[in-house]
C-alpha cells in the first residue's frame, strides 16, 4: 500500500507500536496503512459523517485490516475517551477547526499522548494554540504533493518545557530544523502573505500594532525565503 506524499508525511510522525486514532479520517488510508505495514497494532478511524466512513469500510477491507481498525462517528474527539488511543491525527482539516476541536476536549493535557497535525490552512493558529496551552512541538516536516506544499507536525503536552518563543515561531514552527524545498516554498508563501498584509495595513493607516509585529517577524523568515 502506497500513501500520497502528504499522507506518508503524516504517517511517519506516528510512534511505532501505539494505537492510533485518525480524526476526520474520510477514506481511512492512514490508519489502514499504519496497521497493514505493522507500525501500529490497532487503530480507530472516525469522522463526523457516515458517507466518509463508508469509504473507510471499503479501504479497510481492501487492505485486510477490518479487524484491527474500528470505525466510529465522532465530532472531533467527542466520542473518544483517553484510553482509546495514544496518538491522535488531525489531517486535511483547516487550522480553525482543529483549534476548535482541541479547545473543547479536557483530556488532551496528558504528556503520554501524541498529537499529529496536518492543517490545510492556518497552521499558525494551531501552533499558537499549542504554545499557549503548554504543548511542545516535537517535529515538523514539509512536502510537495501534486505541486502543492503541505506541512505536518507532532506535539505533546509538556508544561515544564518553556523556551523563549520568538513572535515568528507560530509562522515557522520547527521547519527551520527540517529544511527542504517544500519547507522553503511554504515559508516563502508565509513571508509574501505577511509582507503584503503589513504593506496594505500601513497604506491604509490601520492596526499599527499588528504592522509592528509583522515587521518584527519578517526578518526571521527572510533566510528561508526563495524569491525568483
Site map 2..41 versus ligand SAM, x via CB under 6 A: ---------------------xxxx---------------
Among 52, 95, 119, 173, binds ligand SAM (CB under 6 A): 52
Instruction: State the nearest-atom distance from the C-beta of 152 to ligand SAM, in Å.
Output: 10
Tell me the three cell numbers of residue 32.
Answer: 489502514
Among 75, 84, 124, 220, binds ligand SAM (CB under 6 A): 75
Among 21, 43, 47, 130, binds ligand SAM (CB under 6 A): 47
The yes or no reply on residue 92 touching ligand SAM (CB under 6 A) is yes
Q: DSSP letter at 13?
A: T
Q: Report the C-alpha gap between 42 and 40 in whole angstroms.
A: 6
Tell me the three cell numbers of residue 126.
Answer: 494551531
Tell me the three cell numbers of residue 192.
Answer: 509574501
Select 9 or 198, whichever has its Cβ closest to ligand SAM: 9
The yes or no reply on residue 71 touching ligand SAM (CB under 6 A) is no
Contact partners, residue 222, CB within 8 Å, separation at least 6:
191
Q: Report the C-alpha gap between 221 and 168 in whole angstroms.
A: 7
CA-wise closest residue to 113 among 81, 71, 67, 147: 81
Beta-bridge partners for 121: 94
Q: Report the C-alpha gap between 103 and 97 in whole angstroms.
A: 10
In this structure, are residues 139 and 176 in contact, taking their beta carbons and an 8 Å threshold? no
The yes or no reply on residue 173 touching ligand SAM (CB under 6 A) is no
CB-based closest residue to ligand SAM: 92
Instruction: State the nearest-atom distance from the C-beta of 170 to ligand SAM, in Å.
Output: 22
The span of 90-98, 134-142, 154-162, 196-204 binding ligand SAM (CB under 6 A) equals 90-98
Q: Report the C-alpha gap between 63 and 38 in whole angstroms.
A: 12
The yes or no reply on residue 48 touching ligand SAM (CB under 6 A) is yes
Instruction: State the nearest-atom distance from the C-beta of 60 to ligand SAM, in Å.
Output: 14
Q: Which residues bind ligand SAM (CB under 6 A)?
A: 23-26, 47-49, 52, 75-76, 91-93, 97, 101
Amino acid at each position: 500500500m502506497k500513501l500520497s506524499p502528504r499522507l506518508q508525511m503524516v504517517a511517519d510522525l506516528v510512534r511505532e507500536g501505539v494505537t492510533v486514532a485518525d480524526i476526520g479520517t474520510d477514506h481511512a488510508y492512514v490508519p489502514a496503512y499504519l496497521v497493514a505495514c505493522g507500525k501500529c497494532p490497532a487503530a480507530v478511524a472516525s469522522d463526523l459523517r457516515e458517507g466518509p466512513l463508508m469509504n473507510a469500510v471499503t479501504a479497510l477491507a481492501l487492505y485486510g485490516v477490518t479487524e484491527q481498525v474500528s470505525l466510529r462517528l465522532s465530532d472531533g474527539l467527542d466520542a473518544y475517551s483517553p484510553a482509546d488511543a495514544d496518538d491522535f491525527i488531525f489531517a486535511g482539516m483547516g487550522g480553525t477547526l482543529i483549534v476548535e476541536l482541541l479547545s473543547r476536549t479536557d483530556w488532551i493535557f496528558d504528556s503520554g499522548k501524541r498529537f499529529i497535525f496536518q492543517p490545510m490552512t492556518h497552521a499558525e493558529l494551531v501552533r499558537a494554540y499549542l504554545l499557549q496551552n503548554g504543548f511542545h512541538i516535537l517535529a515538523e516536516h514539509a512536502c510537495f504533493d501534486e505541486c502543492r506544499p503541505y506541512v505536518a507536525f507532532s506535539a505533546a503536552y509538556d508544561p515544564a518545557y518553556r523556551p523563549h518563543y520568538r513572535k515568528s515561531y507560530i509562522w515557522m514552527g520547527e521547519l527551520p530544523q527540517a529544511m527542504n524545498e517544500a519547507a522553503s516554498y511554504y515559508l516563502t508563501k508565509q513571508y509574501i502573505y505577511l509582507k503584503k498584509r503589513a504593506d496594505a495595513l500601513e497604506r491604509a493607516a490601520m492596526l499599527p500594532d499588528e504592522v509592528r509585529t509583522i515587521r518584527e517577524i519578517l526578518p526571521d523568515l527572510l533566510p528561508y525565503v526563495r524569491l525568483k
